[in-house]
Structures are given as C-alpha cells and as structure tokens.
Amino acid sequence: MSTSGVVTAPDGIPRCPWGMESEQMADYRAYHDTEWGLPVHGDDALFERMSLEAFQSGLSWITILRRRPGFRAAFAGFEIAAVARFTDEDAARLLADPGIIRNRLKIAATIHNAKVATALAPGELDALIWSYAPDRAGRPVPRTVGDVQPVTPESTALAKDLKKRGFRFVGPTTAYAMMQACGLVNDHLADCHARTTAEAAATG
C-alpha cells in the first residue's frame, strides 16, 4: 500500500485497498470501479441494497457479491411489492435455497421490511434515505482506510428513523455501509481513481 492508502494494480490504476485484497479480486475490482459510491435511487433499488447489507452483517462482502444473482432470483428482483406478498411457503423456499445466505432471521427481516416499505408512498423510501446524506462540502476526504469510520451521526440517525418505522436489521453500521455503497457519501480514498467519478455523479 502506498503512503496515500491506495493500491496500484497491475493495470496501473490506483484503487481503494479493499478492492484489491481478495482472491476474487476481479469481482471486487469491478464492483469498486463501477458501483460502489455511485448514487443509487429508486425505492426497489435501495431496498435491495438495504437487504444485501443486512445479509452481509457478520460476513465478508465478497460472500454477498458472489451470491447477488441468486439473491435477486430468490427475492423477485427485490421488487418491494412482490417481496411483501411472500408467504410462509416462500420463507421455507428461501431457507432451502443454496444461492443465498440461508439465515432465518435475515430472511424474515427482508420480507418484513418489504411489508413495512409498502406502507410508504412511492418515492418515500428513496427520499427518506437520501435525507440523511451529509453535506459533501463539509466532509474531510479520506486518505487512508483508517480515516473512514464505520458509523457516523448520520447513519445513527438514519438507523433510528428506519427502526422507528418498523424496519429490522438496519443498525448504524449497516446503515452506513448502505450510505457508502449507494453514494450518499463518497468514501473512495483521495487518490483512488474512482473518487472523481463518484463525486461527479453525485454533483452533476
């Protein structure tokens, strides 16, 4: 790792180190370069990210990333209205599905959260989540991974609001991971090539 915190790959491009520290480096690299930190909007899209981050709790992200196609197939593309209609039989099906993480509590929480989300008006989940995006101008630019905190006041407030509305498995750490992944914050390191792209996408 360089003193600036980034890692330069054989392709000569500097990246955040987490995108280079896996045997599945190509998977992480693609996710880092083309998704992480770019703005995500839409109720269903944000519901998917919220759900996947909840499933990731206690596991490595590569475990979830490699199973994302299986998750999407199992959870009807994370369409909120469809998941909210899941029955006990669907829950049993999911518990037997090797394409996802078969955690009973997380499966139940995902179905429950879809039901909660259906009580919101169209676009309200998007507006709710994005209302907790901090002022980008006031945030210091991280130079090393040590500068990136796992919990922030905004993620704590977002988690509290979501829990108050009935959502489950949305603690402050999970909420911040979602904020990072969905571009509410730009935690690409200062010298990472993707930082400029993420910033332009957020402000353009």
Interval 143-166: pLDDT, tens: 999 999 999 999 999 999 999 999
- Tell me the pLDDT tens digit for each residue of 64-100: 999 999 999 999 999 999 999 999 999 999 999 999 9
**Cβ-proximal residues to 173 (8 Å cutoff; 6+ apart), any chain:** 57, 150, 151, 155
Give whole-number Cα distances, 85 to 50, 90, 100, in Å. Answer: 18, 9, 19
> Angle between the 25-34 and 193-203 helix axes, to the nearest 10 degrees?
40
Between 13 and 10, whose confidence is greater?
Answer: 13
- What's the pLDDT score for residue 21? 62
41 among annotated binding-site residues: no
Lowest mean pLDDT among 43-47, 60-64, 116-120, 141-145: 60-64
192 among annotated binding-site residues: yes
Domains of the chain by residue range: 43-132+139-190
Phi and psi at 131, nearest 5°, equal -70, -15
Active site residues: 31, 53, 61
**Cβ-proximal residues to 81 (8 Å cutoff; 6+ apart), any chain:** 114, 118
The token duo for 5 is 């915190």
- What's the pLDDT score for residue 1? 38
Q: How far apart are CA 6 and CA 142, in angstroms?
A: 11
188 among annotated binding-site residues: yes
* pLDDT band for position 2 (cuts 50, 70, 90): very low
Domain 43-132+139-190 of CATH type 1.10.340.30? yes
Q: How far apart are CA 144 and CA 154, in angstroms?
A: 21
Residues in the chain: 204
The mean pLDDT of the chain is 93
- Tell me the pLDDT tens digit for each residue of 19-40: 776 555 788 889 999 999 999 9
End-to-end CA distance of the chain: 31
182 among annotated binding-site residues: no
Percent with pLDDT over 70 in the chain: 96
